[in-house]
A and B are shown apart, each in its own frame.
Chain A
């Protein structure tokens, strides 16, 4: 039996999601038994050809990246957005609050046309994305679960409930009690409330749940006097508005 050919690609991002894949030390060798990694620029010097699965990290923020992404799409059966940058624009989304020319002039001075950028966008703004692994960075276990489902020919599923559920199960005190805004009520679960366990708040890196107003948790936001606008403003840290984003 030939092994499925998989590749890893990156656009504008920090490569933390690919690193999280490399950090699956115990499972990494098993993975190599199951699939053939044919492209992984951070790790190897070769590549090319048809792919069964392309895992793509990073946002699209330059015109030449659109072409490269389209070429990857054209030679891949399945394309998976790997991490927040690819899925919702990630922290790059902060750039959407300013104009690209402003940003460039501020950092490099005005005479720098070779540094032209587009407002950062998730992959789905440009190509069909079949599946996604949310998070900044991704969760290694979830990556394995998504890959496993794909290898078995099943569509991978992400949790549809809010992060608050995981936080409550862990019996953590609600962050709002300390007067700190938390995006847990409207953020997709799956990280096991990692930041809350670390004494921090949720900044929504896994993106919005499917129906943020249909569960009971959005009331926590209302009870704390937050309007939908307030929440969206907070959400902009990791989520660009529009296609693929929140």
Chain B
């Protein structure tokens, strides 16, 4: 029996899924990444630091804010630039806006159709109008955060090396706060809805990686934490993470201590359960998500728990920004030759950028390691463990189960393909 899904839908980017089983034995199991490579790291060569973040934002429309923020952090690390507390808070708010945006899109638009037996959210616009309008309202809230802080929901314009080139108006932040609080009933209904979804039972333990939760729920940071216990300084990520090419994919695969590892919402929740906001912890309990959860389908639930966490934290961040009063700050940056490495928890997991700059502040070489590339090996390992358990299912059902497993990771494939200079550093 051969299952082949060409151009997997409801994922970002292009991938094929190939599973081949003969007399009960799994002969082949591959997630083929067929996205056209775009070579972003090479395109950055020679570019002035002020152009770097706007260019890398275009790696991915869904994660453009994360790419921007981690890019700025890497450049600032290279130049030894410290940013203000106000900048740090606004960047956090922007990052949470993007996680919300991406998670809502995934939960309602990409994942839910699998569980409600439809091929997309569109037919629900008639049959479940309240569900669709709620999804759109929540997505708008997330976009409004990114618009107010970043100047545009996709590919932000205001964050720049050293800070922000323009600040949100205080009134816009107050309006965001109002909207965030008003969203609570929508969130409650979302939780109720997801509590009823028949999430498949399947367990496979693996290694889970995120930034360390020492300073709070992981978002920015200088240290990585593996669930196997390793703590790795972000600047040494190249020593810890091994990337390798496979012939069936235009994206590279990655491994750490074991054959594969997982990044993303489930990995973060597992590594930093105690750092979730109070409301998020309650929701986790209600949805039976625990530090011990090892079902990759439950990435979906972890995503929802993070939605709650982001909303609650965003309210606090607005307050903390407005309380001392917004201050106009002029970023002061002096370029110098050097290396800068930074990591951020993007919606799909840990995202690394590393740059070598010359004395004029132009890029000599760049390296980006994106979450989906890190997850690919783990998705395949899950599929290999899962397929033998499903062989009795009728084929369409089996295919759906496999597709929704891949989707549970929310792979962001258009970004997973622009990969690295092998002998960087």
Residues of A whose CB lies within 8 Å of any CB of B are: 11-20, 22-23, 25-26, 28-29, 32, 37, 40-46, 61-62, 65, 90-92, 94-95, 98, 102-104, 106-109, 112, 114-115, 117, 136-137, 194-195, 197-200, 203, 237
Contact = CB atoms under 8 A, between A and B. Distances in A.
Nearest to B166: A199
A15 B61 contact: yes
A45 B154 contact: no
A29 B137 CA distance: 12
24 contacts: A11-B36, A12-B38, A19-B154, A22-B109, A23-B139, A23-B154, A25-B136, A25-B137, A29-B133, A37-B122, A43-B110, A44-B9, A44-B122, A45-B10, A45-B120, A90-B58, A91-B43, A95-B38, A107-B39, A117-B39, A137-B154, A197-B151, A199-B160, A199-B165
Interface in B16-53: 35-39, 41-43, 51
B422 A197 contact: no
Interface in B164-214: 164-166
Nearest to B105: A22
B414 A15 contact: yes
A13 B119 contact: no
Given A95-B39, A117-B37, A46 B119 contact: yes
B36 A14 contact: no
A199 B245 contact: no
Nearest to A18: B61
Interface of B: 7, 9-13, 35-39, 41-43, 51, 54-55, 58-62, 64, 105, 109-110, 113, 119-122, 125, 132-133, 136-137, 139-140, 143, 151-155, 157-158, 160, 164-166, 245, 247, 250, 252, 414-415, 418-422
Given A25-B143, A32-B122, A198 B151 contact: yes
A107 B36 contact: no
A44 B39 CA distance: 28
B158 A200 contact: yes
Contact of B61 (A137, A200, A203): A137
Nearest to B119: A45
Contacts of A23: 139, 143, 153-154
Contacts of B43: 91, 94-95, 98, 103
A199 B58 contact: no
B11 to A, nearest CB: 8
Contacts of B58: 14, 16, 90-91, 136
A104 B166 CA distance: 38
Contacts of B9: 41-46
Contact of B158 (A19, A20, A94, A198): A198
A14 B60 contact: yes
A194 B151 contact: yes
A195 B157 contact: yes
Contacts of B421: 106-107
Given A14-B64, A137-B61, A61 B42 contact: no
Contacts of A43: 9-10, 109-110, 120-122
B139 A25 contact: yes
Contact of B42 (A15, A107, A200, A203): A107
A109 B421 CA distance: 8
Given A44-B121, A107-B419, 20 more contacts: A15-B60, A16-B154, A29-B136, A37-B122, A43-B109, A43-B121, A44-B9, A46-B119, A91-B43, A94-B55, A95-B43, A107-B418, A107-B420, A109-B422, A117-B39, A137-B154, A194-B152, A198-B151, A198-B158, A199-B160
Contact of A46 (B60, B64, B120, B153): B120
B61 A17 contact: yes
B157 A42 contact: no
A41 B143 CA distance: 22
B157 A237 contact: no
Contact of A44 (B10, B13, B125): B10
Contact of B113 (A16, A29, A45, A102): A45
A198 B120 CA distance: 36
B59 A14 contact: yes
A5 to B, nearest CB: 13
A190 to B, nearest CB: 14
B55 A200 contact: no
The 10 A-B residue pairs whose C-beta atoms are closest, nearest first, are A16-B61, A199-B165, A44-B120, A198-B157, A198-B151, A199-B166, A94-B43, A45-B119, A103-B39, A25-B136
B351 to A, nearest CB: 14
Most buried by B among A98, A102, A108, A203: A108
Given A17-B61, A22-B105, A44-B10, A12 B36 contact: yes
B120 A199 contact: no
Contacts of B122: 32, 37, 43-44
